[in-house]
Amino acid sequence: MVRLPNPLGDAVMALPLLAHLKRQFPDCSLTLAGNPAYESLFDGLAYVDHFIGLDNGATIAQQVKLLRQQQCDTIILCPNSWSSAIVAYRAGFKQRIGRHRHGRSLLLTHALPAISEPRLMTELYSELIEAFNCDADVAPISLPCPELDVEWAPKHAHYFMVAPGAAFGETKQYPLALMAQAIDGICNRHNLLPILFGAPNEQQSLTELSQSLKHSNLIAPSSASLGEIKYMLSNAQFLLCMDSGARHIAAAVGTPQIVVFGPTNPAWTAHAMDKAAFISNSTLDCLGCHKKICPIQGHPCMNNLDPQILVDASSRFIA
């Protein structure tokens, strides 16, 4: 069993680990345990045998009961939390693999070194296989896209997708007014339909953004599954987004991405760069601060970023 990371983007960045596990141990049964919403995201992966949904609101006792029922002998913990290690220990896994962190190695049978500096998460997750005396292998991330009939998809339209939100918080998000300018500029230049999407709790901001646009647009319904979003991304011209999970899904299906960075460090996530344009306010020395509340008046890493830069970046991905 692999306990998936909690953040959506990290779950996607764990794909090289999953694929390498099945290559090294082709006869093993591989079960994923994670956010129930992620199940449709992993549809079509030949090397995944089972998916177990772990509700974020479940108690430790409930998680223990559910994982014990799977009768797996080994668990690899991608999260570095105490709670994930406690659940694995109490569920009776014979082998419990994870990283050192604040003494949690007492609950593990194999503890890899703690993360000491920013490195690609694809590499950090892949290294967990070293507990089996195997070398890490970081293959490009890839997600299959089974054909879907998406009811809300536009018919016969060329489109790009926009994910303006970020679970990290407001400091990671480009202001809606500036995002609207960037989207309208892209529409003027390329005559594409923008499709806005985000988490259910982002629907209000999506509506505000939609209403501020001068061009026709479409909002993906809050009920859209990650499988549907994955399929729509696979057919989009490109994705405009923050440093968020949407970027990693797009990378996994081969869709170009224009990614706005501010308080987060791209050293963690700069994989699949052949189809990515990372945009930031390079005049600042505070980038990558990882602060959820900006200590600088005016939040310049986002508010002082010219929307025209995003418009110009879009031309790179249009034939």
Averaged pLDDT, 31-44: 95
- Token pair 């706005």 is found at 260
Does 162 have pLDDT greater than 90?
yes
- Count of helix runs (H) and strand runs (E) in the chain: 11, 12
The pLDDT, as a whole number, for residue 17 is 97
Coil, strand or helix: which one is 110?
strand
Query: How confident is the model at residue 224, as a pLDDT?
Result: 96
- Alpha-carbon distance of 295 to 113, in angstroms, equals 32
d(CA 89, CA 21): 22
At 238 the three-state DSSP class reads coil
> What is the rounded radius of gyration, in angstroms, for the C-alpha atoms of the chain?
20
Q: Name the percent of the chain lying above pLDDT 90.
A: 85
Residue 268 β-bridge partners = none
pLDDT score for 172: 87
pLDDT (0 to 100) of residue 191: 95
Q: Which tens digits make up the pLDDT trace of 85-110?
A: 999 999 999 999 999 988 899 999 99
Least confident of 4-8, 22-26, 263-267: 263-267
Q: How far apart are CA 69 and CA 108, in angstroms?
A: 20
Structure confidence by residue, pLDDT tens digits, 273-316: 999 999 998 888 888 888 888 989 889 999 999 999 999 999 99
Mean pLDDT value of segment 134-146: 92
Token readout for 8 is 């959506």
| Alpha-carbon dihedral angle through residues 279, 283, 289, 294, given to the nearest 10 degrees | -100
Global pTM value: 0.95
DSSP at 60: H
pLDDT attached to residue 101:
84
For the cut 80, the answer to whether the pLDDT of residue 126 exceeds it is: yes
Closest alpha carbon to 8 in 30, 37, 50, 31: 37
Mean pLDDT of all residues in 240-245: 95
Q: Minimum mean pLDDT among 32-36, 100-104, 178-182, 304-308: which range?
A: 100-104
Higher pLDDT: 262 or 258? It is 258
- Distances, alpha carbon 211 to alpha carbons 170, 192, 194, 197, 218, in Å: 20, 17, 13, 14, 11
pLDDT tens track for 60-76: 999 999 999 999 999 99
Taking the CA of residue 165 as centre, how many other CA atoms within 13 Å lie in the half-sphere pointing to its CB? 16
Residue ranges and CATH numbers for the domains of the chain are 2-132 (3.40.50.2000), 159-317 (3.40.50.2000)
Contacts of 211 (CB under 8 A, 6+ apart): none
- In the numeric block, which tokens belong to residue 122? 């694809």
Q: Rounded to an integer, what distance in angstroms lies between the CA atom of residue 186 and that of residue 192?
A: 8
